[in-house]
């Protein structure tokens, strides 16, 4: 079962929130090479594909936020596009997914704050759901318990989706545990960032899930030492009081400081 679950490296996109996406070209290319050598399936390079990436042996992914989508967007340099939306943006996101699929891209629908999504009838009745490679549900604020992962996974499954993917955050230090639960449920793919890079409590450490899935994590170890330890020392991420508050209250990490009393 493990080998069937695919891995998406979203370091340069989601981890980029920490350093405002100021990765050197050398770091970007070495990160891509590490992903290729580790057997990663998808490499999400950002909201815009860096100019230094010309091609890859693995599929390159770009994310488009529904709030920034407008019909007619073309020529995105990627093999696949992940359209991300909050619950109130689902209609726009579906239109975007259909548009990008018609342009020839592999497409993912990414549900942020998935625990707040209620319109499952829409997902169930969407006639073009089969165009998706997979539908993602995200623990955007790192608030999920394993039971939440299972509950939401099964809700989406009951809407007729075969391929379901999971994106974890680590505010409550449960990203690894929750990802294991998603894998056990049969997730099509799961996400991770090198050394858990990400704002707030960070993301799932990619090297941990590679170890769990019996994949080659060694290409990432040299990468961590050369690039991501210095980035961590410069910017810092991971468990903190603010991250804890964000996870416990299920709020955006940027709002956590306002909730501290």
**Residues 185-240: tens digit of each pLDDT:** 999 999 999 999 998 899 999 999 999 999 999 999 999 999 999 999 999 998 88
Average pLDDT over every residue of 63-84: 91
Around Cβ 218, how many Cβ atoms within 10 Å? Answer: 14
Residue 2's pLDDT is 46
Average pLDDT over every residue of 142-149: 97
Average pLDDT over every residue of 127-136: 98
DSSP, collapsed to helix, strand or coil, labels residue 163 as coil
* Cα-based angle 145, 146, 152 (whole degrees, multiple of 5): 95
Residue 99's pLDDT is 96
Structural contact between residues 55 and 36, judged by C-beta atoms closer than 8 angstroms: no
In 3D space, the residue among 62, 123, 112, 121 whose CA is nearest the CA of residue 87 turns out to be 112
Average pLDDT over every residue of 22-34: 98
The token duo for 246 is 């964000």
Residue 143's pLDDT is 94
d(CA 190, CA 136): 9
Q: Packing angle between helix 146-157 and helix 175-185, nearest 10 degrees?
A: 30
pLDDT in tens, 157-171: 999 999 999 999 999
Strands (DSSP E) found in the chain: 6-9, 42-46, 59-65, 80-85, 106-111, 134-138, 164-167, 189-192
- Residue 259 confidence (pLDDT) above 60: no
Burial class (CB in 10 A: 0-12, 13-18, 19+), 33: middle
- Residue 133 confidence (pLDDT) above 70: yes
The token duo for 67 is 């709030």
- Residue 108 confidence (pLDDT) above 90: yes
| pTM for this predicted structure | 0.92
d(CA 230, CA 86): 33
């Amino acid at each position: 079962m493990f080998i069937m679950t695919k891995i998406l490296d979203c370091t340069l996109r989601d981890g980029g929130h920490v350093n405002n996406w100021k990765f050197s070209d050398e770091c970007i290319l070495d990160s891509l090479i590490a992903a290729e050598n580790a057997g990663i399936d998808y490499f999400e390079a950002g909201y815009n594909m860096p100019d230094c990436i010309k091609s890859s042996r693995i599929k390159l992914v770009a994310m488009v936020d529904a709030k920034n989508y407008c019909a007619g967007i073309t020529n995105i340099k990627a093999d696949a596009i992940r359209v991300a939306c909050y619950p109130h943006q689902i209609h726009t996101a579906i239109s975007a997914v259909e548009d990008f699929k018609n342009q020839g891209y592999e497409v993912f629908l990414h549900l942020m704050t998935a625990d707040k999504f209620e319109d499952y009838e829409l997902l169930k009745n969407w006639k073009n759901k089969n165009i998706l490679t997979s539908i993602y549900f995200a623990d955007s604020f790192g608030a999920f318990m394993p039971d939440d992962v299972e509950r939401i996974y099964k809700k989406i499954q009951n809407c007729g989706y075969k391929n379901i993917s999971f994106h974890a955050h680590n505010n409550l230090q449960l990203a690894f545990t929750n990802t294991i639960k998603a894998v056990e449920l049969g997730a099509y793919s799961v996400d991770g960032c090198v050394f858990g890079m990400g704002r707030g409590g960070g993301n799932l450490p990619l090297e941990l899930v590679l170890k769990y899935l019996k994949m080659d994590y060694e290409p990432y170890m040299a990468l961590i030492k050369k690039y991501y330890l210095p980035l961590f020392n410069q910017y810092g991420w991971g468990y903190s009081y603010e991250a804890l508050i964000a996870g416990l209250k299920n709020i955006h990490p940027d709002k956590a400081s306002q909730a501290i009393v």
